[in-house]
Amino acid sequence: MKPLFGSFGHRKKDIAEELESHLRLATAELVERGMDPEEARASAMREFGNVPLVEDIATEMWGWLWVDRLLQDLRYALRQMRRSPGFTATVIGTLALGIGAAAAMFTVVDHVLLRPLPYRDAGRLVAIQEHATNDPRTSGAPWLDIQQWTLRSHSFSQIALFDGMPGRNFLEESNGGGMQISAVTVSPNLFATLGVTPSMGRDFLSVPMGSEVSKNADTVILSDAAWKAAYGGDPGILGRNIKINSKSYLVVGVMPPGIEIPFGPSFPQVWTTIALGDQDKTRYYNSPDYSVIGRLRPGVSIKTAQAEMSTIQNGLAVAYTDARVRQERTDARVQSYADSLVAADIRKALLALLAAAGVLWLISSVNTTNLLLARGAARQREIALRGAIGASRSRILQQFIVESLVLSGAGALLGTGLALGAVQLVSKAKPAHLNVEFSAHVNFTILAVLCGLTLLTALVSSAWPAFLAVSTSIESAIKQGGQQSGTGRRHSRVRRTLVVCEVALSLTLLVACGLLLRTIYTLRHVPLGYRTDHILVAHLAIPSYRYSNRNMIVDLYQPLLDRVQHLHGVSAAGFMSEVPLAQKFSIKLTVAVNGQSSIAVLKTVSPDIRRIFGVKMIVGRFFDDHDTATSEPVVVVNMAYARLHSPNPHDPSAIVGQRFMNLRKDMPTKIIGIIDDERQGKIGEPSQPEVEVSLQQLSPDSGFYQPSTVAMDLAVRTERAPDSIIPELRSILGQANPDLPHATFNTMDQVVEDSFGSQRLAAHLLEIFGGVALLLCLAGLYGLLKYTVTQQTRDIGVRIALGAQRTDVLWLVMRQAAIMLLAGLTLGAALALPSTRLIQSFLYGVTAHDGWTLACAAALLLVSGLSAAYLPARGAARVDPITALRTE
Amino acid sequence: MSRARIYENRVEVLQGTLDMLILKTLQWGPQHGYGIVQALRANSGEMLQIETGSLYPALHRLERQGWVRSEWKQSESNQRAKFYRITATGKKQLAHDLGRWQRIVEAVTSIIDRDPEGNEV
């Protein structure tokens, strides 16, 4: 009979009875030999040995004992936790901070860097981009280059291309409304390259690119999102004609949910095919650039493909006639498509922050180890006693591990809560150029990492205390209580080392945090070249197709401006194609002067914009109401432009009165003034050359630039609070166009604040990490000293009784603290120097090896560390020798 | 008197031979744990001492493997005790163990019985 399940209790009872019968038989025999029954029983017991241990081992032969033990240890652990709530709360809190920080950071990294792409075998997809040798900035590629890549390369089974349609795109809905979409033109083989097929209808017909008349012309494939949003998932959509930007397309397919390309669009996507134009037959600055995706042939590595593409592109660059354009396209970069979605500096920064969270986790684990060691010392007698009454070493070890698992499990639970909160915080501070939706949802990867982290935490924090506990000899522990014994001294040496490590790690985090705070401070104090106070900005998404045959300036912008200007409390209102630092998009103008091309930012503004932003006029005049669609076309440039293009290199103002390019057909444009430089895209970047044109001079027949294709920002200078004026502005916008009330409003101050994006995110996180690290480190130092002082109460009592001054005792403790702190700071400084380089790309106006920041962080740690040490030191100095000597 | 002293003159049972010794003892008839200890001690001329700490785990291991079967019965001294009885597979196992033991003894003997030059003594 081999009962396995359910009879566990029965089995245990049976074995206990069996051993009892053994003892009875042995006793009976001894009595028979003439021994006193009581003595016989004792003798039999002695002969038998450790009854409960034998019972356990015999039961174990049947396999289920570990469950019983585990439950027992669990109960014991919970009882221990209830008995010392202060200790438990400290440990759980400490671990929660460490695990929480690591989990939160990992969630962000998971969302940004480890996003699974919805394509077949996505790891084999690469982005191919052109760039100048030794320049990390990349661009797309013109058709002629891509054509050569396809012909010459052997690394790819397919090469496909795509490009966003210019400007903002709208899908006309049957009810007359318009929905903003992201319209992408693609090569017919793109979806095949990605390995995705439509869930409804068909893919584009496979025809080679460049054939004059494509069978795919005027056909469109909808994304699931666009299909559901615009047509409510109507299955009859196939074969219908829909209008994108007033142009009609035949719907041939609908993609399955989640399929998007390029990945992470702002609006629902639709795809049409690329129609190559005349400019695609040239390699010049105005040749359209396409994003290129290749699928690596089986067995080909990215490295091999990279080497091949570099060679090919090197050869192709010769074909560029313009020296500047050629220099920008001398090399091609092959990069996994997933990697290409996140800028290299963001990737590096996120990994650095993840490392910072890891450091915090390490500090919290070290601190927990320290706490467990302190308790282990206090529990030595209990553990020795358990050993004496028959608990095996592995049993005691197991109990320790269960205890720390319970603690770190509780810490992980609390930490997850903290992490979810932190992720919410992060998603609010999301950098503008990080096009990622953060959500606090927990996926399998995160869950697995969390569990692993909990286990690792338990192991790391309990391994040393458990080892010390089981390696302590039973007799000495029971005899001396471990307080003055060798183990006690070893304990405190280990704990000192741990505190030193904590101080070192905390310093690293504090230095990193200090560097970022200085960066933010410096950025806030960069002269922008314009005012940002009391300006309200509305980003208008105007469905331009509604104005395709009308003059938007006359029909929309001018009347709108008139009404806003007359609003109560508005001192000025104006339009600007994009306000500075908004980082949504920018228009680049390539200016060719004397055969050399250069790039300038192009902005369309209304005359009042200078007054609103308080931009300084260096020379000449700004636009006024006399500059109209019929008057002489004029532009204003900034200092950076003037310095670059002035006919007199020593006098930028000589450029005023010069003429260049045609704003209107056959009408050269005159430069009428120079404005001061201002920060356009990023605060950290110096001013780029800029050319401004007046909105009032644009008309549907403007030569190079159609106002209808771009968005406009409305800027309003007002003394009124944003909350009170926004509803009024919305109603005015609504009257002008039914789509406009949904415009997003922002204050200019907020736009500036948002432009700090990744720096602010990193600074916030490091503030939290650094603060928590400091707190944990101080708690560790305080705890250790407090414990040492308690243990040495008797010694201190003797010293005082022998005539030591109380100040001597105070200094004795303070000196211990100072030594630990200084050792930690030295180690920390050595650690900080290499590790702060990781956040280099985030820094502005301060180097990664900034001595002042290091000194300040060290001083902060030293001062707060000594303050934390003062309390136990004062306690030691107040020891009453009589009570101290009496207690032991 | 410490425990170590009591056992000083006794020989520790070789690792792995305990199972064989128990099975061999049970071949003479069903026996309880205490009886097995006594039998082994008596039959070895007081030389072998089985630790109870090894005996009971071994008995339960053997039972789980199906080599012995147990039953609660009255002992000769009219005490309730758990008796172990060897099974058919147990007997097979015993024969196998004995054969192996024999070979080890032969091998060890042949090494011991040689003089330094390698001739049989």
Q: How far apart are CA A177 and CA A171, in angstroms?
A: 9
Give the largest Cα separation in chain A, rounded.
134
Which of A21, A46, A61 lies at the smallest CB-CB distance from B79? Answer: A21
Q: Which of A706, A738, A770 is the last residue of a domain?
A: A738
Q: Are residues A311 and A194 in the same domain?
A: yes
Burial bucket for residue A441 (CB in 10 Å: 0-12, 13-18, 19+): exposed
Q: How far apart are CA A283 and CA A285, in angstroms?
A: 7
Q: Are residues A518 and A553 in the same domain?
A: no
Q: Could A60 and B57 be called an inter-chain contact, meaning their C-beta atoms sit closer than 8 Å?
A: yes
Counting the structural domains of chain A, the total is 4
In a domain, A463, yes or no: yes
A744, β-bridge pairs: A539
- Chain B residues closer than 8 Å to A53 by CB: 53
Cβ contacts of A213 within 8 Å, gap of 6 or more: none
Alpha carbon A656 to its chain centroid, in Å, reads 47
User: Among all residues of chain B, which has the CA nearest to that of A60?
Assistant: B57
* Residue in A276, A277, A275, A286 with CA at minimum distance from that of residue A320: A286
The reported pLDDT for the residue numbered B10 is 44
The reported pLDDT for the residue numbered A489 is 67
In a domain, A101, yes or no: no
Q: Are residues A513 and A652 in the same domain?
A: no
| Chain B CB within 8 Å of residue A78 CB | no
**Phi, psi at A616, each rounded to 5°:** -80, 135
The reported pLDDT for the residue numbered A295 is 96
| Chain A CB within 8 Å of residue B10 CB | no
pLDDT at A774 over 70: yes
The reported pLDDT for the residue numbered A385 is 74
Q: Could B77 and A21 be called an inter-chain contact, meaning their C-beta atoms sit closer than 8 Å?
A: no
- What is the pTM assigned to this prediction? 0.67
Hey, what amino acid is at A43? S
Token pair 């150029």 is at which residue? Answer: A433
Q: How far apart are CA A594 and CA A170, in angstroms?
A: 40
Quickly list DSSP for A719-759.
SS-HHHHHHHHHHHHHHH-TTGGG-EEEEHHHHHHHHTHHH
Phi-psi category of A268—alpha, beta or left, where left has phi over 0 and alpha has psi -120 to 50? Answer: beta
* Residue in A160, A204, A185, A187 with CA at minimum distance from that of residue A245: A185
CA of A11 vs chain B CAs: smallest distance (Å): 11
Number of neighbours of residue A279 by Cβ within 10 angstroms = 12
pLDDT at A250 over 90: yes
A493, β-bridge pairs: none
Tokens of A101: 């920080």
Of B18, B34, B50, which to mutate for an interface test with A (greatest number of A Cβ within 10 Å)?
B34
Which pLDDT band holds residue A623 (cuts at 50, 70, 90)? very high
Which pLDDT band holds residue A488 (cuts at 50, 70, 90)? low
CA of A381 vs chain B CAs: smallest distance (Å): 24
Task: Tell me what the mean pLDDT of segment B36-40 comes to.
Answer: 88
Range of the domain at A177: 133-329
Q: Which carries the bigger pLDDT value, residue A127 or residue A450?
A: A127
In a domain, A110, yes or no: no
Q: Are residues A548 and A504 in the same domain?
A: no
| Chain B CB within 8 Å of residue A53 CB | yes
Reported ipTM exceeds the 0.85 cut: no
The reported pLDDT for the residue numbered A613 is 92
Cβ contacts of A501 within 8 Å, gap of 6 or more: A366, A824, A827
CA of B106 vs chain A CAs: smallest distance (Å): 33
Q: Which carries the bigger pLDDT value, residue A667 or residue A534?
A: A534
Percentage of chain A exceeding pLDDT 90: 23
Residue A705 near residue A693, CB atoms below 8 Å: yes
Which pLDDT band holds residue A507 (cuts at 50, 70, 90)? very high
CA of A301 vs chain B CAs: smallest distance (Å): 55
In a domain, A79, yes or no: no
Q: Mean of the per-residue pLDDT values for chain A? A: 83
CA atoms within 13 A on the CB side of A423: 25
**Phi, psi at A185, each rounded to 5°:** -100, 135
Task: Tell me what the mean pLDDT of segment A750-761 comes to.
Answer: 78
CA angle, residues A490, A495, A497, in degrees to nearest 5 = 100
Burial bucket for residue A304 (CB in 10 Å: 0-12, 13-18, 19+): middle
Task: Tell me what the mean pLDDT of segment A33-56 comes to.
Answer: 85
Q: Are residues A411 and A496 in the same domain?
A: yes
Q: Which carries the bigger pLDDT value, residue A582 or residue A193?
A: A193
Q: Which of A738, A772, A792 is the last residue of a domain?
A: A738
Q: Could A54 and B60 be called an inter-chain contact, meaning their C-beta atoms sit closer than 8 Å?
A: no
Number of neighbours of residue A189 by Cβ within 10 angstroms = 19
Q: Could B64 and A54 be called an inter-chain contact, meaning their C-beta atoms sit closer than 8 Å?
A: no
Which pLDDT band holds residue B44 (cuts at 50, 70, 90)? confident
CA of A360 vs chain B CAs: smallest distance (Å): 48
Tokens of A619: 């020379």
The reported pLDDT for the residue numbered A558 is 87
Q: Are residues A369 and A317 in the same domain?
A: no
Strands (E), A223-305: 241-244, 247-254, 269-273, 291-296
Q: Are residues A716 and A798 in the same domain?
A: no
Indicate the range of A321-325, A448-452, A570-574, A587-591 predicted with least confidence.
A587-591
Q: How far apart are CA A395 and CA A853, in angstroms?
A: 50
Q: Are residues A732 and A693 in the same domain?
A: yes
Residues 27-86 of B with CB under 8 A from A: 32-35, 51-53, 56-57, 59-61, 64, 66, 75, 77, 79-82
In a domain, A395, yes or no: yes
CA of A30 vs chain B CAs: smallest distance (Å): 13
pLDDT at B7 over 50: no
Task: Tell me what the mean pLDDT of segment A711-732 comes to.
Answer: 88
Q: Which of A711, A738, A765 is the last residue of a domain?
A: A738
In a domain, A124, yes or no: no
Q: How far apart are CA A755 and CA A653, in angstroms?
A: 31
Q: Are residues A579 and A701 in the same domain?
A: yes
The reported pLDDT for the residue numbered A481 is 46
pLDDT at A66 over 70: no
In a domain, A74, yes or no: no
In a domain, A583, yes or no: yes
Q: Are residues A553 and A679 in the same domain?
A: yes
Which pLDDT band holds residue A4 (cuts at 50, 70, 90)? very low
pLDDT at A83 over 80: yes
Do the bridges between strand A667-675 and strand A659-664 make them parallel or antiparallel, or are there none, so unpaired?
antiparallel
Q: Are residues A775 and A874 in the same domain?
A: yes
Q: Are residues A387 and A449 in the same domain?
A: yes
Q: How far apart are CA A353 and CA A761, in angstroms?
A: 10
